[in-house]
A and B are shown apart, each in its own frame.
Chain A
Amino acid sequence: MRHRSLLLLLVLALLLAVTPPAHAQPKDTLTVALVSHAPTLDPHMHFERVGILVNINMFDSLLHRNTKLEYEPSLATSWKPINDTTWEFKLRKGVKFHNGDPLTAEDVKFSIERVTEPGKEKKKSPQYGNIRAIKDVRIVDADTIQIVTDKPFPLLLERLVFFPIVPKKHVEKVGDDAFGTTAPVGTGPWKFVEWKRDQYIRLEAFDGHWRGKPAFKHLVIRAIPEVATQIAEMKTGGVDLIRNVSADLVPEMKSSAQTYVSSSPILRVHYLELDMRSAPFDKKLVRQAANYAIDKQAIIQKLMGGLGQQVATVVQPKAFGFDGEVKPYAYDPKKAKELLAQAGYAGGVDITAHSAFVEFRPVFEAVTQMLTEVGLRTNARMWDPGPAWNKFFQTEGKATNAAYGSWGNYSVFDADAVLHPLFHTEPGGWIGKHYTRVEGLDKLIDEARSTVDQPRRKRTYSQIQYLIREEAPAIFLFTQYDTLAINKRVEYAARGDEWLWLFDAKPKR
């Protein structure tokens, strides 16, 4: 009995000790909620979107991308190619790290070689694949470096937009572990204060930042996994900004007195991959019929809240190499039926389609319904996203006859970033490994990635887009928008690269 009274006392004391919490946040604090934190704050030792979004506000890279998605000087003030495999960068003078050390060419070399680890068999950074082409970093003089690649590497500048520069001396002094947890130091607008795992990361404006001081003195990045909780935090002003507001929640965030919504088309394309290994999608006419069967506009307007743009292939309008001349498949159910009949399926055919994209279930169901209407009678199977689905779809390649998918290019604005990882068959791309069999496609993709001659690359990508539109290895749907909900006291706009570049955030008067 004594224990129970103790417990009773404890709970009572707890209830009494509570002071009413202040909901309004201090004016100079900006609070952002992400679904989780990355495992480390070390910008080179993870490959997590949620980590990158935090890192970019603490670290600078050589190049920056502005809101129009053009390259802008950051730690490099200018850059030019010396030959097919060498680029030269002039470094900004007078840049200071958060600990007061000046930025040097040594730091740049150190940062890159931290990831490439020349001479080492096993690389510890998961970002190694991104810049494996870099063979050498030469220090020409105090403010000039050259980056040498083993073969022409057209994506170099794109990769350097997120490649944070870290201080050599400091990292060597504190060690990798401390650098990623308790002592991260960069040159960015905010410096590190405190990190409570799965709770919050606190940052404070860095007085010596070369761009000047950011508008908000304190930046807090909280980890809130549940969407409903994020929305409640937005409504009460506990959080100022959340990402990935889905179409069904947009009206609620728009009508709330405290919040507004900002949207931008992003590099994420949705499609239904078709299994070309077996009937009926081994026939081109059937794959084309499937593309004609879908009313993409209706889906965008009715199910995506108008936030989407129809695409002809998987190449995004914003990516380098996009060819607007390649026209999307029109909605033409009559033509779809004709093509099916030509392919020998006049009476229709039974197929199965899979999806693990819970958030886009209505889209998936609409697509399968439209397929059924033209005679591709679809059995729609929803999966739990996770291990079983990955094994089924990716490891074993059993997602016959079709599977819903989306691809985000890893935020790289280049056609290669969707074509190679999706369709290339060797090494196996996301779809190409098992499902896509388009003759000549591998060769064209390889050709376009092995030159820095941009006009030539553009021509090759045009060719590829005509080819995949014709061959239709997937039902091409739309590009997605990124939607932020923002507290009205903060002025900020969603970016096409899904970055949260919070230096641009300003208090609204």
Chain B
Amino acid sequence: MASFLVRRLLRLVVVCAGVSLVTFAILHASGDPVALIMPEAPEADRAVLRQSLGLHDPLPVQFGRFVGRALTGNFGNSFFHRAPAFGLVMERMPTTLMLTVLSMGLALVVALPVGVYSAVKRGRAVDQVATGTVFLGQSMPVFWTGIMLILLFSVQWRLLPVSGWDSWAAAILPTLTLGAFTAPLLLRIVRSSMLEVIALDYVRTARAKGLSEWLVICRHALKNAALPLVTVTGLQFGLLLGGAVITETVFAIPGVGRLIVGAIRQLDFPVVQAGVFMLAMVVVSVNFAVDVLYVYLNPRIRLR
């Protein structure tokens, strides 16, 4: 168990290093922030600014400095906000996590019972509606879903606020938007792995013992069927954070995603680096947690 954890942690470190290198390389290939900050300024003034931002050093030096600082949680000062980038990101992190966790929760709450039910009643009306909805849900881009929900619930029915993040009511539409993006895939996983499991011998044995159908499905079948779901939920978390970027923009939510989008536009390197790095950390941690959980759920893995 210990060596398993060490190996996973090591992988975590490698992923973090990779993420920072890639973000750093892409950002620095993409242009001169100084030209964007002072478009009209004479070259002499720009040189002064470049100096003060540390952009005059060779790239490897800049990267070394970035890594050294990042290890202590210091990603440098935002060019635009003139405040520590790490602080700006962390200030917005709870909002983004809240949004993703709510959406993931909603997706699971929908996907689990509906998935199980449509597997058990395969081919019936519920199953067909569910399968159709999955198809629809997966085909809708997050951006479009968001706008449509706004038009329906806010403009048409006047039930919910259009945008913002200052009340629970304001959180509903973004959660729905992002949940609708995740739920279909989870539902499909639940359905297919459930279908696989209920055909197995041990389920038949359970039935033969005279257990009620409810107990057979929820107690015996679901436990095994849940394994792929745990994996996919972990993976989906990354996608969900990506979707949160768009959702935050559409619904004017003050989260990390919106901060990063703005920072990319302004070539605000420190903020993009800090933001992407911290989001990557979240994804990696969630997946680490999933790995650990997996060991707990599936004793067979412990041996390897």
List A residues at the B interface (Cβ < 8 Å).
4, 7-8, 10-11, 14-15, 17-21, 23, 36, 39-40, 45, 121-122, 126, 129, 196-200, 222-226, 228-229, 232-233, 235-236, 238, 385-388, 390-391, 394-395, 421, 427-430
Known: A14-B168, A385-B265, A390-B31. 14 other contacts (CB 8 A): A21-B161, A36-B262, A39-B81, A39-B82, A40-B81, A129-B40, A199-B166, A200-B164, A222-B252, A225-B261, A225-B262, A228-B250, A236-B155, A236-B162
Check A391 against B31 for contact (C-beta < 8 Å).
yes
Q: A39-B81, A394-B35 given as contacts; is B30 within 8 A of A388 (CB)?
A: yes
Complex-state Cα separation, A222 to B161, whole angstroms:
14
- A14: chain B residues at CB < 8 Å are 102, 168, 171-172
B256 to chain A, nearest CB (A): 11
The answer to whether B112 touches A199, judged by C-beta atoms less than 8 angstroms apart, is no
What A residues does B251 contact at CB under 8 A?
A: 229
Query: Chain B CB within 10 Å — which of A23, A198, A228, A421 has the most?
Result: A198
A226-B249, A387-B30 known; A235+B48 contact, CB < 8 A: no
Whole-angstrom CA separation of A20 from B78 in the bound complex = 39
Report the separation of the CA atoms of residues A225 and B262 in the bound assembly, to the nearest whole angstrom: 9
Question: In the complex the two chains form, is A10's CB within 8 Å of B105's CB?
Answer: yes
Complex CA distance for A200 and B254, rounded to whole angstroms: 10
> B139 contacts the other chain (Cβ, under 8 Å)?
no
Residues of B close to A232: CB separation below 8 A: 147, 150-151, 154-155, 162-163
Q: With the chains together, A226 CA to B177 CA distance in Å?
A: 16
User: Among the listed A229, A395, A421, which residue makes an inter-chain contact with B250, where contact means beta carbons less than 8 Å apart?
Assistant: A229
State the CA gap A399–B169 with chains docked (Å).
48
- Whether the pair A122, B35 counts as a contact (CB closer than 8 A) is no
Tell which of B48, B102, B161, B254 touches A122, judged by Cβ atoms closer than 8 Å: B48
**Total residue contacts A-B, CB cutoff 8 A:** 139
11 A-B pairs in the complex with CB atoms less than 8 angstroms apart: A7-B109, A23-B161, A36-B262, A39-B80, A129-B40, A224-B163, A232-B151, A235-B155, A236-B154, A390-B31, A390-B267
CB-based contact A11/B252 at 8 Å: no
A15 contacts which chain B residues (CB < 8 A)?
172
Q: Are A427 and B164 in contact (CB under 8 A)?
A: no
Contacting pair A388 B31 (CB below 8 A): yes
> Are B109 and A11 in contact, with the CB atoms below 8 A?
yes
Q: B160 interface residue, CB < 8 Å from A?
A: yes
* Whole-angstrom distance between the Cβ of B179 and the nearest chain A Cβ: 9
A223 CB to closest chain B CB (Å) equals 6
Query: For window 120-167 of chain B, which residues contact chain A by CB distance below 8 Å?
Result: 147, 150-151, 154-155, 158-167
Please tell me if B32 contacts chain A, counting CB pairs below 8 Å: yes
Within the complex, what minimum Cβ distance (angstroms) separates A238 from chain B? 5
Q: Chain B: interface secondary structure?
A: helix
Inter-subunit contact A20/B159 (CB<8 Å) = yes
Which residues of B approach A to under 8 Å, CB–CB? 30-32, 35-43, 45, 48, 52, 78, 80-83, 91-92, 102, 105-106, 108-109, 112, 147, 150-151, 154-155, 158-169, 171-172, 249-252, 254, 258-259, 261-262, 264-265, 267
Shortest CB distance B275–A (Å): 13
- On whether the beta carbons of B162 and A233 are closer than 8 Å, the reply is yes
Q: How far is the CA of A385 from the CA of B267 in the complex (A)?
A: 12
Complex-state Cα separation, A427 to B41, whole angstroms: 8
Question: Least Cβ distance of A43 to chain B in Å?
Answer: 15
- In the complex, how many angstroms separate the beta carbon of B236 from the nearest chain A beta carbon? 15
Q: If the complex has contacts A14-B171, A36-B262, A196-B254, are A233 and B163 also in contact, measured as CB distance less than 8 A?
A: yes
- In Å, the complex CA distance between A470 and B171 comes to 58
Cα–Cα distance between A225 and B232 once the two chains are bound (Å): 32
Known: A129-B41, A198-B254, A421-B40. A18 touches B108 (CB 8 A): no
| B169 A228 Cβ-Cβ under 8 A | no
Shortest distance from the beta carbon of B43 to any chain A beta carbon, whole Å: 6
Closest A residue by C-beta to B101: A7
| Residues of chain B with a CB closer than 8 A to A421's CB | 39-40
Contact among B32, B92, B106 for A395, CB-based, below 8 A:
B32
CA A36 to CA B164, docked complex, whole Å: 13
Specify the chain B residue showing the minimal Cβ separation from A121.
B48
**Cβ of A45 and Cβ of B82 under 8 Å apart?**
yes
For the complex formed, measure the closest distance between the CB of A415 and the CB atoms of chain B, giving whole angstroms: 16
B169 contacts across to A, CB distance below 8 A: 18-21
Closest 7 CB pairs of A and B: A387-B30, A198-B254, A391-B31, A387-B31, A7-B105, A427-B42, A39-B81
Bound-state CA distance A295–B172 (Å) is: 49
Residues of A within 8 A of B252 (CB): 198-199, 222-226, 229
